[in-house]
Amino acid sequence: MKSIAHDISSLPARFRDKQGRRITVQAFRTKDFDALVQMYDTFEPKGTECGLPPRDPGMRMAWLRDVTKELFNILAWNRGRVIGHCAIDLARKDSCPEYLIFLRQGFRNRGIGTFLCEVMKSVAGEVGCKKVVVTVRTANTRAVKVFQKVGFVFCGDIAAERDMQLLIKPGRSCRRCHEDERD
Ligand SMILES: CC(C)(COP(=O)(O)OP(=O)(O)OC[C@H]1O[C@@H](n2cnc3c(N)ncnc32)[C@H](O)[C@@H]1OP(=O)(O)O)[C@@H](O)C(=O)NCCC(=O)NCCS
């Protein structure tokens, strides 16, 4: 998507994870593509979260081409490696932008996911998003905990995979979440 990274004051961001490792968070640049592919080539387990990241290398490459073309992408780096990736569909900022987040194994449960979600929330707020939606397996209790910590709440039908929504500002509803308009 058209680069808006230069307009976003929330990026870049730096912090230390719970092990003291330096983590740099910045908007995806075209030159980062190979490093992102490398993260997903070694990512495990593949295919668990809504089929993502795809197990098949060709489908994984096609997915990453689509995601980096269509969504606003944020990468977390440590020692020259991409160790985390989140993306949000800012083209749908007036409705319900979808959100995805994946961290490399060995970097999970160290506060990085929470930090990335907070950065995403700031970015969404800066560009005027009213609401962000993420689909999560209810059995993925760590992901659910992280999303709840930053303010996501369950919405929609009860199922093994559920939508969670984050209201950035009170405002319009999400049709997908079967809610009424508030204003
Ligand atoms: C889900 C994910 C993004 C979370 O990021 P993270 O960096 O691991 O999470 P954080 O360390 O920031 O926070 C984890 C929180 O959950 C808690 N937690 C850890 N394991 C848990 C579990 N099994 N059940 C419930 N809570 C758990 C931790 O105590 C921590 O809470 P605290 O900070 O209040 O102590 C990351 O683990 C990941 O990429 N997992 C694989 C891909 C995935 O599931 N993506 C989400 C798809 S929707």
Using CA atoms, how far apart are residues 112 and 103, in angstroms rounded to an integer? Answer: 8
Q: Residue 179's pLDDT is what?
A: 44
Q: Which class is domain 5-177?
A: alpha beta
Largest interatomic CA distance in the chain: 47
Which residue's C-alpha comes closest to atom 41 of ligand 1? 102
At 178 the pLDDT is 42
Q: What percent of the chain has pLDDT over 70?
A: 87
Position 140 pLDDT exceeds 90: yes
Six-digit token string for 105: 């194994």
Nearest CA residue ID for atom 18, ligand 1: 142
Domain boundaries, the chain: 5-177
- Best probe residue, ligand 1, of 67, 75, 145 (max atoms within 8 Å of C-beta): 145
Alpha-carbon torsion (14, 99, 155, 94), positive or negative: positive
CA of 63 to the centre of ligand 1 (A): 24
Q: What was the pLDDT predicted at 183?
A: 30
Give me the pLDDT at residue 98, please.
Answer: 83
Whether the predicted pLDDT of 97 surpasses 90: no
pLDDT tens per residue across span 115-136: 999 999 999 999 888 899 999 9
More confident residue, 32 or 157: 32
Ligand 1 contacts (CB < 6 A) are: 49, 101-103, 108-114, 134, 136, 140-143, 145-146
What was the pLDDT predicted at 160?
93
**The token pair that represents 136 in the structure block:** 């999560």
Which of 101, 133, 142 is the best mutation target for the ligand 1 pocket, counting ligand atoms within 8 Å of the beta carbon and taking the most?
A: 142
Over range 132-148, report the average pLDDT: 96
State the average pLDDT over residues 125-150.
94
Provide mean pLDDT across the span 97-107: 93
pLDDT at 128: 87
pLDDT tens-place string over residues 22-55: 999 999 999 999 999 999 999 999 999 999 999 9
- Write the residue with the smallest CA distance to atom 20 of ligand 1: 142
Q: Mean pLDDT in the chain?
A: 89
Average pLDDT (88-102) is 81
**Residue 49: its pLDDT value, please?**
92
Q: pTM value? A: 0.91
Which has the closest alpha carbon to 134: 101, 175, 85? 101
